[in-house]
């Protein structure tokens, strides 16, 4: 590579690297530094606090339990849908990924409406069994893991399904030709080869569960986990302790990351795709009926939260008390959302902040992806690390870092006052979504033949023209998909928002929580439906945009 | 039916005692498409039969029925006279080598080879010992602990072979065993493969689309086209006495021209010059056919630069050096072009020459 070209790479890379160092690395470094502001004082405080020790332990227990619960649902479901043909398979396949379409807080309140003490399912069971009290309480570790399993098994299901689809069917045939029976083949061939998919999805669940905030916040009861503990310390003004808790949370995440990488270290192969195995029709009539009934039950369980939120969104606030179903229905909730400016504000807030964050993601991640995939220069490794970093840091930790850094104007230390302004939330969303958009752009660019850029330059195209006519079109599928994911995540974001929001830029998620606290279930549900509708709208917009260009 | 899995290969006489593998009128349909149509043949112990055909001819489906991965819609598969049509692959005790080898990517070489023994409950020390011996047998001693990904194509092929042999199979099935190797390795492997399969002494069936591979390795060849069996025979039989024009066309090497059948001879007329050629007929063919063809092989023709009255006249369009001889392509009249082998390389492209048939005999085939 010529020196001038290397200089050019650095010239493009430098602003991006500086921006990422400033917004991603600096705040987290500030948190770690803050935890040592009086030597080991805050750390001793943390170690001596039974509440914090309990929080760390509970966080880890919940994360590990969520991993196992998600595996227990996701792996069998992927096998059932990938390997067998039965009546109702298509419907089950269609709704299997539905939980992923629920913004985190909406999933939680849907569960509250269904399985909470006054929830639909709870009440039905209570009536049927003729019990005086609710048969269970949706509280504590079990409740949190229950919600996590529902929303996070989708990762496992998708990863393992993809693994099964790429699975080379002749390996299975070879094993059976060598005399291995069904069980031996599963244990020695199929499962070991699916391990990368299982481990990858398990890591995703672990990271998500560790950083999860909404479920512990709503269902925790008296339960302490690290993410909620951080917010509590911050609210109490114990910033030093919050820094320690944040550092511990981030370290736990990194430790999880390292552990999973280590468990998966021996993999040196990739699954070749030579046509998956065809699905087998279930032979036994009895098992076929059983499978169909079971899949019908699963379908209902998966769709119920969505239906319940829609139903409750038409319930008159305050009217639903001890009845199984809300007794009065009205359009009032929606009418108020659109007519009262105080209620309309969170919607415009969420949409505009999501769009700003996504726009920034697209620009920064396109440049970063281009440099990472197509340019060979010294800063490539650093850039790769920087764009992946926010993925390893739980959202609460990112938010606290921002709160600790952008809390005053001090040009000497590179601080700008953003806390308390509109801009702090778009910045948080931007940081959270960097890894998502960057990896989508990178994978698009990797599919491009690297010699295309050389070919364009060789034909006399300027650098700008090459970017515009060759690189940008190649990155487009990744930009659209990544941008959509970023916008969808940002518009329903809750975890970072709860740490950083102010009244004037409160997003939809915070308003849902406020309405829930005021027991205005109908309004909270109406917001939730609107959020789902916004997600749907953005998905359709992205799809039609992509179709028009492709 | 076979006995329990672990007792699988213990027949009355242990080694190569499985008897002949036979397919009896097997048919396999996929929807309305008939992939294999009423195919029958038998492979004796120690015999090597090549299933040859173009892609889509049904040869792989036939092999998969022999292995038990496909169940025939009609017909039976027998081994030593016993019907094994509905015995699943894991209880057949056959050794199969897949086209892309299907080696388990998550196991080192020796665990791959030992897998079949593991499935039979053989103890770890014993199976690894046997696996290493099997690897040595295919010239890969000491490669046991290497990861599959570090092997070359030829090495992978031999690991796949060792894996199929170590279970002391009752029959060996090979799907395009040579097609993924580069030409040099391929020629060496042909000889190795043949020697190895002879030693094992069980029926061996292998699929190939390459008639050269089939000629070099097989004792007999079964030629398939569009699911139908065209001819089964030794390579010599297929070459010298093809049963139909289709078979002759597949074997290649020669031009197929129309002829008038006259019993022991046939008349071929090109550009008004008629020549009577000595012919051979396939076994069991009628002594006279209405529309007959004759195969003009390059080694049965003679090139001359002097114009002969009774020779076919033509012009050289291509001259190719083929080791000891030169092969000329000569454009004759009536749009017929033939290849002619010649010891002398004096003639050049665009030269006008005459071509005459040698003594023959020339294969005569019906339409």
User: What is the per-residue pLDDT across A58-79, written as a single tens digit (0 to 9) for each?
Assistant: 999 999 999 999 999 999 999 9
- Residues A198-210: pLDDT tens digits? 988 999 999 999 9
* Phi, psi angles (nearest 5°) of residue B364: -105, 130
Residue B191: which H helix or E strand, with range?
Answer: helix B183-200
* Chain B closest-CA separation from residue A1 CA (Å): 31
Do residues B282 and B211 share a domain?
no
Contact A181 B119 (CB under 8 A): yes
- What confidence score (pLDDT) does residue B149 get? 87
Q: Which domain holds residue B314?
A: 250-366
Q: pTM for the full model?
A: 0.80
Neighbours of B135 (CB within 10 A): 24
* Chain B closest-CA separation from residue A160 CA (Å): 17
A521-549 and A104-115 are packed helices; what angle lies between their axes, rounded to 10 degrees? 140
Nearest to A506 by CA among A388, A357, A348, A346: A346
Do residues B179 and B49 share a domain?
yes
* Phi, psi angles (nearest 5°) of residue B189: -65, -35
Angle at A95 between CA A92 and CA A96, to 5 degrees: 75
Cβ-Cβ contacts under 8 Å, B5 against chain A:
179, 181
Nearest to B354 by CA among B315, B320, B317: B315
Of A305-309, B81-85, B281-285, the one with minimum mean pLDDT is B281-285
* Chain B closest-CA separation from residue A282 CA (Å): 17
Nearest C-alpha in B relative to A192: B106
3-state secondary structure of A506: coil
Do residues B80 and B130 share a domain?
yes
Cβ-Cβ contacts under 8 Å, B94 against chain A:
177
Do residues B18 and B44 share a domain?
yes
* Inside any domain, residue B176: yes
Chain A residues touching chain B at CB-CB below 8 Å? 168, 170-171, 173-181, 184, 188-189, 192-193, 195, 267-271, 274
DSSP 8-state symbol, B308 = P
- Residues B208-264: pLDDT tens digits? 998 888 998 999 999 999 999 999 999 999 988 898 888 888 887 889 999 988 888
- What confidence score (pLDDT) does residue A266 get? 64
- What confidence score (pLDDT) does residue A370 get? 92
- What confidence score (pLDDT) does residue B308 get? 73
- For residue B17, name the pLDDT band (cuts at 50, 70, 90): low
**Strand boundaries in A25-110, DSSP class E:** 84-85
3-state secondary structure of B349: coil
Mean pLDDT of A225-236: 90
* Chain B closest-CA separation from residue A192 CA (Å): 7
Q: Which positions ≥6 away from B82 have C-beta within 8 Å?
A: B1, B19
Chain B residues touching chain A at CB-CB below 8 Å? 5, 8, 67-69, 88-96, 98-100, 102-106, 115-116, 118-120, 147-149, 163-164, 167
Mean pLDDT of A234-255: 91
- For residue B128, name the pLDDT band (cuts at 50, 70, 90): very high
* Chain A closest-CA separation from residue B327 CA (Å): 41
Write out the DSSP string of A286-353: HHHHHHHHHHHHHHHHHHHHHHHHHHHTTBPTTT-SSSSS-S-B-SHHHHHHHH-HHHHHHHHHHHHH
Neighbours of A18 (CB within 10 A): 10
Contact B115 A178 (CB under 8 A): yes
* Inside any domain, residue B131: yes
* Chain A closest-CA separation from residue B28 CA (Å): 17
Do residues B156 and B13 share a domain?
yes
Do residues B332 and B210 share a domain?
no
* Phi, psi angles (nearest 5°) of residue B85: -55, -40
Tell me, letter by letter, the H, E, C secondary structure of A137-156.
Answer: CCCHHHHHHHHHHHHHHHHH
Contact B102 A189 (CB under 8 A): no
Contact A193 B105 (CB under 8 A): yes
> What integer best gives the mean pLDDT of chain A?
88
Domain count of chain B? 2
CA distance A139 to A116: 8
CA distance A167 to A273: 6
Do residues B235 and B257 share a domain?
no
Do residues B170 and B287 share a domain?
no
Contact A193 B106 (CB under 8 A): yes
CA distance A108 to A98: 14
Contact A180 B106 (CB under 8 A): no
Contact B98 A170 (CB under 8 A): yes
Domain CATH for B281: 2.40.50.140
Q: Dmax over Cα atoms in chain A, in whole Å?
A: 82
- Residues A398-454: pLDDT tens digits? 999 999 899 888 887 888 888 889 999 999 999 999 999 999 999 999 888 777 877
Write out the DSSP string of A165-206: HH--HHHHHHHHHTT--HHHHIIIIIHHHHHHHHHHHHHHHH
Interface mutation vs chain B, best among A163, A170, A176, A177, most B CBs within 10 Å: A177
For residues A232-271, one letter each, b for 16 or more C-beta atoms within 10 angstroms of the residue's C-beta and e for the rest, the string is bbbeeeebbbbbbbbbbbbebbeebeeebeeeeeeeeeeb
Report the DSSP beta bridge partners of residue B356. B302
- What confidence score (pLDDT) does residue A464 get? 83
Report the DSSP beta bridge partners of residue B43. B21
Map tokens 């319940």 to a residue. A308
Do residues B272 and B216 share a domain?
no
* Inside any domain, residue B245: no
* Phi, psi angles (nearest 5°) of residue B291: -105, 110
Paired tokens of B161: 């072979």
Strand B220-225 vs strand B204-208: parallel, antiparallel, or unpaired? Answer: unpaired
Paired tokens of A77: 């479901």
Do residues B96 and B174 share a domain?
yes
H-state helical runs in A84-139 = 89-95, 104-115, 120-129
Report the DSSP beta bridge partners of residue B273. B270
Of B180, B206, B239, which marks where a domain is finished? B239
Paired tokens of A266: 């021996």
For residues A27-47, one letter each, b for 16 or more C-beta atoms within 10 angstroms of the residue's C-beta and e for the rest, the string is bbebbbebbeeeeeebbebbe
Of B217, B239, B261, which marks where a domain is finished? B239
- For residue A267, name the pLDDT band (cuts at 50, 70, 90): low
Of B205, B239, B273, which marks where a domain is finished? B239
3-state secondary structure of A501: coil
Domain A1-26+313-550 of CATH type 2.60.40.10: no
Neighbours of B86 (CB within 10 A): 11
CA distance A259 to A264: 9
* Chain A closest-CA separation from residue B40 CA (Å): 23
CA distance A304 to A297: 10
Neighbours of A335 (CB within 10 A): 11
Do residues B262 and B135 share a domain?
no
3-state secondary structure of A268: coil
Look at residue B15 and tell me whether its pLDDT is greater than 50.
Answer: no
H-state helical runs in A340-419 = 341-374, 380-392, 395-405
- What confidence score (pLDDT) does residue B4 get? 37
Nearest to B269 by CA among B277, B259, B279, B280: B259
Domain with CATH 1.10.3720.10 in chain A: 1-26+313-550, 36-287
Query: Between A176, A193, A268, which is nearest B90 by CB?
Result: A176
Contact B91 A179 (CB under 8 A): yes
Contact A179 B167 (CB under 8 A): yes
Contact B93 A179 (CB under 8 A): yes
Interface mutation vs chain B, best among A172, A174, A277, most B CBs within 10 Å: A174
Cβ-Cβ contacts under 8 Å, B31 against chain A:
none
Map tokens 């970063």 to a residue. A368
CA distance B330 to B340: 7
**ipTM score assigned to the predicted complex:** 0.75
Of A271-280, A472-481, B127-136, the one with minimum mean pLDDT is A271-280
Through-space distance between the first and last CA atoms of chain B, rounded to whole angstroms: 44
Domain CATH for B213: 3.40.50.300
Look at residue B59 and tell me whether its pLDDT is greater than 90.
Answer: yes
Contact B115 A193 (CB under 8 A): no
Report the DSSP beta bridge partners of residue B79. B21, B82
Nearest to A81 by CA among A93, A72, A70, A73: A93
* Chain A closest-CA separation from residue B291 CA (Å): 45
Interface mutation vs chain A, best among B90, B116, B169, B180, most A CBs within 10 Å: B90
Nearest to B220 by CA among B240, B205, B209: B205
- What confidence score (pLDDT) does residue B3 get? 36
DSSP 8-state symbol, A394 = -
> What integer best gives the mean pLDDT of chain B?
87
Paired tokens of B86: 């509905």
Q: What is the strand order of the sheet B48-52 is part of? A: B95-97, B172-175, B204-208, B48-52, B220-225, B228-233
Do residues B53 and B182 share a domain?
yes
- For residue A269, name the pLDDT band (cuts at 50, 70, 90): low
Look at residue A296 and tell me whether its pLDDT is greater than 70.
Answer: yes
- What confidence score (pLDDT) does residue A550 get? 67
* Phi, psi angles (nearest 5°) of residue B265: -125, 170
CB B58, CB B72: distance < 8 Å: no
- Residues A121-164: pLDDT tens digits? 998 998 898 888 888 888 889 999 999 999 999 999 999 998 88
Interface mutation vs chain A, best among B8, B67, B89, B118, most A CBs within 10 Å: B89
Domain A36-287 of CATH type 1.10.3720.10: yes
CA distance A58 to B216: 70
Of A102-106, A301-305, B169-173, the one with minimum mean pLDDT is A102-106
Contact A174 B94 (CB under 8 A): no
* Inside any domain, residue B126: yes
Strand B172-175 vs strand B325-332: parallel, antiparallel, or unpaired? Answer: unpaired
Cα distances (Å, whole numbers) of residue B297 to A507, A531, B248, B256, B300: 85, 79, 11, 9, 5
- What confidence score (pLDDT) does residue B8 get? 42
CA distance B321 to A540: 65
Contact A178 B167 (CB under 8 A): yes
CA distance A127 to A124: 5
What's the gap between Cα A316 and its chain centre? Answer: 32
Nearest C-alpha in A relative to B5: A179
């Amino acid at each position: 590579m010529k020196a001038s070209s290397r200089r050019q790479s650095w010239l493009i890379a430098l602003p991006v690297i500086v921006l990422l160092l400033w917004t991603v690395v600096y705040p987290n470094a500030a948190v770690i530094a803050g935890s040592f502001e009086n030597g080991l004082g805050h750390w001793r405080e943390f170690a001596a606090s039974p509440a914090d020790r309990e929080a760390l332990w509970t966080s880890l227990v919940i994360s590990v339990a969520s991993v196992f619960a998600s595996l227990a649902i996701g792996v069998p479901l992927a096998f059932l849908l990938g390997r067998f043909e039965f009546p109702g398979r298509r419907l089950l396949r269609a709704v299997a990924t539905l939980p992923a379409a629920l913004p985190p807080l909406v999933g939680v309140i849907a569960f509250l409406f269904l399985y909470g003490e006054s929830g639909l399912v709870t009440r039905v069971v209570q009536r049927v069994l003729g019990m005086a009290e609710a048969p269970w309480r949706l509280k504590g570790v079990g409740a949190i893991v229950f919600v996590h399993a529902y929303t996070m098994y989708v990762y496992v299901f998708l990863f393992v399904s993809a693994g099964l689809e790429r699975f080379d069917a002749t390996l299975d045939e070879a094993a059976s030709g060598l005399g291995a029976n069904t069980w031996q083949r599963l244990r020695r061939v199929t499962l070991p080869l699916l391990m990368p998919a299982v481990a990858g999805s398990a890591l995703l669940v672990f990271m998500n569960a560790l950083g999860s905030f909404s479920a512990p916040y709503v269902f925790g009861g008296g339960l302490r986990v690290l993410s909620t503990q951080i917010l509590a310390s911050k609210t109490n003004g114990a910033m030093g302790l919050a820094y320690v808790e944040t550092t511990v949370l981030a370290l736990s995440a990194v430790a999880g990351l390292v552990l999973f990488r280590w468990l998966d270290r021996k993999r040196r192969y990739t699954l070749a795709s030579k046509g998956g195995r065809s699905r087998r029709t279930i032979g036994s009539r009895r098992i076929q009926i059983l499978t169909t009934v079971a899949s019908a039950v699963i379908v209902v369980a998966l769709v119920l939260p969505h239906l319940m939120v829609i139903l409750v969104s038409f319930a008159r606030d305050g009217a639903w008390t001890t009845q199984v179903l809300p007794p009065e229905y009205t359009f009032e909730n929606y009418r108020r959302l659109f007519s009262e400016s105080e209620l309309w504000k969170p919607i415009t807030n969420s949409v505009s902040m999501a769009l700003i964050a996504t726009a920034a993601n697209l620009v920064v991640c396109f440049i970063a992806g281009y440099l990472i995939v197509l340019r060979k220069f010294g800063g490539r490794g650093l850039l790769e690390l920087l764009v992946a970093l926010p993925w390893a840091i739980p959202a609460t930790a990112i938010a606290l870092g921002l709160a600790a850094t952008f809390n005053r104007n001090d040009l000497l230390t590179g601080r700008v006052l953003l806390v308390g302004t509109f801009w702090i939330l778009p910045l948080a969303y931007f940081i959270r979504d960097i890894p998502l958009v960057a990896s989508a752009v990178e994978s698009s660019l990797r599919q491009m033949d690297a010699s295309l850029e050389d070919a364009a330059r060789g034909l006399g195209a300027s650098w700008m023209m090459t970017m515009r006519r060759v690189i940008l079109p190649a990155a487009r599928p990744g930009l659209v998909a990544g941008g959509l994911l970023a916008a969808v995540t940002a518009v329903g974001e809750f975890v970072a928002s709860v740490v950083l929001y102010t009244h004037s830029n409160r997003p939809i998620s915070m308003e849902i929580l406020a309405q829930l606290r005021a027991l205005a279930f109908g309004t909270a549900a109406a917001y939730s439906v609107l959020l789902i509708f916004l997600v749907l709208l953005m998905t359709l917009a992205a799809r039609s945009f992509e179709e028009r260009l492709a | 039916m076979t006995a329990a899995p672990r007792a699988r290969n213990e027949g009355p006489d242990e080694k190569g005692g499985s008897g002949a593998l036979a397919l009896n009128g097997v048919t396999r349909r996929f929807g309305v498409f008939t992939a294999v149509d009423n195919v029958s043949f038998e492979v004796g112990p120690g015999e090597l039969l090549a299933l040859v055909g173009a892609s889509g001819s049904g040869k792989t489906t036939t092999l998969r029925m022999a292995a038990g991965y496909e169940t025939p819609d009609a017909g039976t598969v027998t081994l030593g006279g016993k019907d094994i049509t509905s015995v699943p692959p894991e209880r057949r005790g056959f050794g199969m080598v897949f086209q892309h080898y299907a080696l388990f990517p998550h196991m080192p070489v020796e665990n791959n080879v030992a897998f079949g023994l593991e499935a039979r409950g053989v103890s770890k020390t014993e199976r690894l010992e046997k696996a290493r011996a099997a690897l040595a047998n295919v010239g890969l001693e000491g490669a046991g602990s290497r990861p599959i990904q570090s092997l070359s194509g030829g090495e992978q092929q031999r690991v796949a072979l060792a894996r199929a042999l170590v279970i002391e199979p009752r029959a060996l099935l090979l799907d395009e065993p040579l097609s993924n190797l580069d030409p040099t390795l391929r020629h060496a492997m042909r000889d190795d493969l043949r020697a190895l399969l002879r030693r094992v002494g069980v029926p061996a069936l292998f699929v190939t689309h390459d008639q050269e591979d089939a000629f070099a390795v097989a004792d007999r060849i079964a030629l398939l086209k569009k699911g139908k069996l065209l001819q089964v025979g030794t390579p010599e039989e297929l070459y010298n006495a093809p049963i139909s024009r289709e078979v002759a066309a597949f074997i290649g090497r020669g031009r197929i021209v129309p002829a008038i059948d006259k019993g022991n001879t046939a008349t071929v007329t090109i550009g008004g010059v008629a020549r009577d050629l000595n012919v051979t007929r396939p076994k069991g063919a009628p002594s006279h056919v209405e529309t007959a063809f004759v195969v003009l092989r390059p080694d049965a023709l003679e090139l001359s630069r002097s114009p002969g009255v009774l020779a076919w006249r033509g012009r050289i369009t291509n001259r190719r050096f083929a080791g000891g001889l030169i092969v000329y392509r000569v454009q004759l009249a009536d749009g017929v072009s033939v290849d002619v082998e010649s010891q002398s390389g004096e003639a050049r492209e665009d030269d006008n020459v005459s071509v005459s048939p040698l003594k023959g005999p020339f294969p005569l085939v019906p339409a």
